[in-house]
Amino acid sequence: MQSVATALTRLGDLAATPPVSALAQAFAAAGHELALVGGPVRDAFLDRAINDLDFTTDATPDQILEIVKPISDAQWDIGRAFGTIGARVAGEMVEITTYRADSYDGQTRKPEVVFGLSLEDDLLRRDFTVNALALRLPGLTLVDPANGIDDLLAGVLRTPISPEVSFGDDPLRMMRAARFTAQLGFRLDLDTAVAMEAMADSIRNISAERVCEELSKLLRSDSPHVGLELLVESGLFDRVLPEIPALRLEVDEHHHHKDVYQHTLTVLDQAIGYEKSRGGFDGPDLIVRLAALLHDIGKPATRKLEPGGVVSFYHHDLVGSKLAKKRLRALRFDNDTIAAVSKLIELHLRFFGYSEGAWTDSAVRRYVRDAGDQLERLHILTRADVTTRNRRKADRLGFAYDDLEQRIRELAEQEEMAAVRPDLDGEQIMAILGVRPGREVGDAYRYLLEQRLDDGPLGEEEATRRLQVWWAGRGE
C-alpha cells in the first residue's frame, strides 16, 4: 500500500502521459468534465501495475465520439448503448463512459441504462468503495465520496451505499466481491457478507454470459481459493455452480474418505503452482484451472459405501466429464474450452494405472494419443491431483510421473509421437485394397493406427503387408 502522497505523485505522472493529457485537454476545450476512474486510481494506491485506462465524463456517447475522433486513430462504439466509447489515443486503448446510474428491475437480466448527472453520484453507484475513486482532469483533484481510501488502508471491501441497494442494482457485484477478495487480499465487510447470503438467489437474474465472464476473471487471479470459498459460503455457487458445494460430502461414522471439497481447492492451488513453474502458457490458463476445479464433481453421484469402511467412486471420471460438459454449456463457455476441460476430467485418473505397474510403449503412445493437444495440461492436472500427506506415497507417485514424462519424451524423439499417424494414408489404403471412399477405408485406417501404436513405425512395406492380411481375414 502506497502512501497518499506517493499515490498522488504516481497519478500525476500518469496524467502527464500523452494519452491522458491529450484526452484531458480535449474534453476541457469542449467544456466537458473528465476523470480517471476506478481501477487505475485504486491500483496507484496499492502499488499495482496500471493496465487499463478508464475514464468517466458528463458528455454523452455522441459527444464523446466527437471529442475523441480528432485525437485518436481508431474508435469503437460497441458499448454505446451502455454509454461507453473506446478509442486508441497515442497508442493506448482507453474507454470513456458517460456518468451512469444503472439499476435492475429485479426481473430482467440486463440493466436499465440511465445516465447520471454528476461524478459523485456516478461513483456512489459503483460496486465497492475502493473502486469508487476518481481523479478529476486536468486539475488532478482526488474525488472519494465513499471513503474508499480509508477502506484501502484497512483492506476492507464494502459497497459505497447499502449493500442491499447496490446488489439490487446489479447482483453480479456479489460475484465480483469474491473476485476482489482473491485479487486484492481484502476481507469482506460484515454487512456486505450478510447481504450476499440473503440476496444470493438474485444472481439468477444475471445472464449466464456475465456470470461466465466474472467466474473466469476469478479463476484467472493469482490465488482464487479465497474467492471460491466465499462463493460457496454465501450460497452463490448453489445457484451458479452447484457441483462445487455438492463436494462437501457428509462423512459416515463407519466410512472415511478425504474431504473432496478441500481436496479440490488444494488441487486447484497446486495446479496453479505447476502452471507457473512449468511455463509454456500465455498468462493464467483458464482450462487448467477449470479442470482442476471440476475434476472430482462426479464423486457425489458415484459414491458407494463398501464393507469394511471403504468408500468408492467408480467411474467418477467419466460421470464428472459429462457433468462438466453440461454445466459449462449452461454457463456459455466456448466449445473449445468445454471440449478441453471435459477431456482432461475424463483422463485425469489414467496415470494411476501407470503408478501400479510399468506400461508398455503401446500404452504410453495411447496416453499421448488420447490426451492430444491437452497433454501438457494433463501433466499438470495429474500431478496436482496428488494431495496425500503420506510423504512416501507422494514421492512414489511423483517419481512415477517423472518416469512417464521421460518415456514420453524419449518416444517422441524416436518417433515424432506428437503426430502419430498410420504408415499409410487414406489414398494409399484405397489404392492397395481397390476400394472407394467409405466405411471400409475408415476401418482400415483405424486398424493401421492401432498397429502403429502397438509396434511403433512399421514402414510402408510392412504396413501394406499387414493391411492385406487384415483385409483378407475380415470375412473369417
Domain coordinates in residue numbering, the chain: 1-154, 245-419, 426-472
Beta-bridged to residue 112, according to DSSP, are: 103
CA 183 to each of CA 1, 160, 180, 187, 223: distance values in angstroms, whole numbers, following the listed order: 14, 19, 5, 11, 7
What string of DSSP letters covers 17-51?
Answer: SHHHHHHHHHHHHTT--EEEESHHHHHHHHT----
Residue 475 pLDDT: 60
Q: Is 42 exposed, middle or buried (0-12, 13-18, 19+ CB in 10 A)?
A: buried
Sheet architecture: strand order including 53-57: 74-76, 84-89, 92-98, 53-57, 34-37, 134-137, 141-143
Residue 253 pLDDT: 45
Residue 7 pLDDT: 85
Residue 363 pLDDT: 87
Q: Are residues 234 and 196 in contact, defined by beta-carbon separation less than 8 angstroms?
A: yes
Residue 4 pLDDT: 76
Q: How many whole angstroms separate alpha carbon 410 and alpha carbon 36?
A: 55
Q: Are residues 38 and 190 in contact, defined by beta-carbon separation less than 8 angstroms?
A: no
Residue 180 pLDDT: 95
Domain 1-154 has CATH 1.10.3210.10: no
pLDDT means per 10 residues, the chain with 476 residues, are 80 94 97 95 90 93 96 90 92 94 57 79 94 95 95 95 93 96 94 97 95 98 96 97 90 58 96 92 95 96 81 91 98 97 96 75 88 94 92 88 89 66 89 89 90 86 92 76
CATH fold for the domain made of 245-419: Hypothetical protein af1432 (1.10.3210)
Report angle CA 227, 101, 89 to the nearest 5 degrees: 80
Same fold for the domain at 1-154 and the one at 245-419? no
Of 228, 223, 225, whose CA–CA distance to 276 is shortest? Answer: 223
Residue 74 pLDDT: 94
Mapping DSSP to helix (H, G, I), strand (E, B) and coil, where does residue 158 land?
A: coil
Of 310, 291, 311, whose CA–CA distance to 300 is shortest? Answer: 311
Residue 255 pLDDT: 43
CA 295 to each of CA 37, 247, 261, 288, 291: distance values in angstroms, whole numbers, following the listed order: 39, 11, 11, 10, 5
